[in-house]
Amino acid sequence: MSVFIYQAVGANGDKVAGELEAQNRIDAYRKLDKENLQPVSLELKDLVESQNPPDKSEPLSSGLLTLSRAQIILFTEELSDMLDAGLQLEPALGIMEQRQELSSLKSVTAALRQRVREGRSFSSSLRSVSNHFGELYCNLVAAGEMSGALPQILRRQVGYLTTMDELQARVLQAMIYPAFITGAGVLLLFVFMTVLVPQLTVLFIKTGKELPMATRMLIGVSGFMAHYWWGLLAGGIALGLSFWQAIRQPAGRLWWDEARLKIPFFGPILTARFYAQLAQTLATLVGNGIPLLNGLRLMNRATPNVYLNGLLAKVIDLVAEGGSLSRAFKRVGHFPLVLIDIIAVGEQTGHLSTAFDKVARRYDKELNQRIQRMTALIQPLVIVVMAILVGLVAYSIITGIFQAVSGLRVHR
């Protein structure tokens, strides 16, 4: 059972406000109708609290119960299947709790069932059990409880989490060969600079001839690395720690989140993923009766990128003032014109959820295409870079050797 906060008008015209328990939003409307109350607003209590941080009663857990992404996908898929089959939430969790496998998933399911039996909402139970579900997951579950579309919301989350898991696996697989090439190239350069170049330097000095510029630069770099390697290591660590501290500050975090979206190859992937997730979520919420403004607020709270979060906040303010979503996107900027045009058509035809679904499919396709391009370009790009570096070192050494050999011939 979920708790709803309502404002309504009674039969005598008086305004009434209060709370009631219901299975879903439709059930809540039915109960108000039986009491001859005309609802003005009806909001899920947990959703209202989640949109007002100072009154938020259940922060994310410190994470005593840990779950991997694969376990979260399995849990979400099993639960959505059972809810689709007609089971209520508590019996479904009871069946999942009886699994024979002894893992953290069994413990999480048992803890969730206990909290649901105590009368707490499923979304707040998720928050108190583990922080691995994340803000977006918990907020979407709260929206599903309010709209009565929890199975659809969970099914959508299965698709999203599976896509992210496949993306991570594909990128990791694509990076194995480049990482091997990079490691071999760095090792080869290290041997050149610390073993071969110092030995050749002695030969170069004996000739007494002026060496080529490339060879002199190589000898200088080799000597610097041999004497001050500890300084390079310490400087690299200090630079990394300074960068980490900087991006943890509000201004630094805003700059880094915006800069990440402009990185070649990776930036467009992050942007396409954001648009796809935004459209998928709004399509599900609006299609199941959640007001557009509430759906935007849910996405805003669950967006980890501070820069994108700020853009969404501006959109929310414009929509709250009575403007359309397409105009709000256009006024804020950054959002692509194709997305704005599709949403504008949906607003004009009255099929906004269908428009969001089209946008989601479009950016899902674009995301897959960009991932394929990135994975296809990573390997040759790394090979070319390493070949250039090794080639420059080899060229410097060979030209120096030729100069040294010509000097020895003169001495004879």
Q: Which of 351, 336, 340, 363 is nearest to 286 (CA)?
A: 351
- Does residue 105 fall inside a structural domain? yes
Q: In the listed set 135, 162, 189, which residue is the last one of a domain according to the structure? A: 162
- Does residue 374 fall inside a structural domain? yes
- Indicate whether 132 and 168 sit together in one domain: no
- Does residue 61 fall inside a structural domain? no
Q: In the listed set 162, 192, 217, which residue is the last one of a domain according to the structure? A: 162
Instruction: Return the pLDDT at 94.
Output: 86
Looking at residues 55-84, what average pLDDT do you find?
Answer: 71
- Indicate whether 47 and 76 sit together in one domain: no
Structure letter (DSSP) for residue 21: E
- Indicate whether 17 and 124 sit together in one domain: no
The full DSSP string for 61-119 is P--SS---HHHHHHHHHHHHHHHHTT--HHHHHHHHHT-SS-SHHHHHHHHHHHHHHTT
* pLDDT-derived band at 25, boundaries 50, 70, 90: low
- Indicate whether 245 and 365 sit together in one domain: yes
Q: Where are the alpha helices (DSSP H) in 261-351?
A: 266-287, 292-302, 306-320, 325-332, 337-349
Phi-psi region of 248 (alpha: psi -120 to 50; beta: other; left: phi over 0): alpha
Full domain range(s) for residue 144: 69-162
Is the distance from CB of 283 to CB of 357 less than 8 angstroms? Answer: yes
- Does residue 62 fall inside a structural domain? no
- Indicate whether 271 and 124 sit together in one domain: no
Instruction: Return the pLDDT at 241.
Output: 93
Instruction: Return the pLDDT at 341.
Output: 92
CATH of the domain at 378: 1.20.81.30
Question: What is the per-residue pLDDT across 96-141, written as a single tens digit (0 to 9) for each?
Answer: 888 766 567 888 888 888 888 887 888 888 888 887 887 778 877 8
- Indicate whether 249 and 331 sit together in one domain: yes
| Residue 53 pLDDT > 60 | no
User: Which residue pairs, CB below 8 angstroms and at least 24 apart, start in 68-72?
Assistant: 68/132, 69/161, 69/164, 69/165, 70/165, 71/103, 71/104, 71/105, 72/132, 72/133, 72/137, 72/161
- Give the number of domains in the chain: 3
- Does residue 43 fall inside a structural domain? yes
- Does residue 63 fall inside a structural domain? no
- Indicate whether 102 and 209 sit together in one domain: no
- Indicate whether 133 and 279 sit together in one domain: no
Q: In the listed set 162, 187, 209, which residue is the last one of a domain according to the structure? A: 162
* pLDDT-derived band at 61, boundaries 50, 70, 90: very low
- Indicate whether 143 and 207 sit together in one domain: no
Question: What is the per-residue pLDDT across 359-383, written as a single tens digit (0 to 9) for each?
Answer: 988 988 888 888 788 777 877 888 8
- Does residue 60 fall inside a structural domain? no
- CA end-to-end span of the chain: 99
**Cβ contacts of residue 18 below 8 Å, gap of 6+?**
5, 6
Q: Between 234 and 32, where is the model more confident? A: 234
CA distances (Å), 174 to each of 260, 273, 369, in order?
20, 19, 15
- Indicate whether 46 and 73 sit together in one domain: no
Looking at residues 53-82, what average pLDDT do you find?
Answer: 68
- Does residue 157 fall inside a structural domain? yes
Q: Is pTM, for the whole model, over 0.75?
A: no
- Indicate whether 93 and 191 sit together in one domain: no
- What share of the chain in percent tops pLDDT 90? 7
Instruction: Return the pLDDT at 52.
Output: 45
- Indicate whether 234 and 248 sit together in one domain: yes
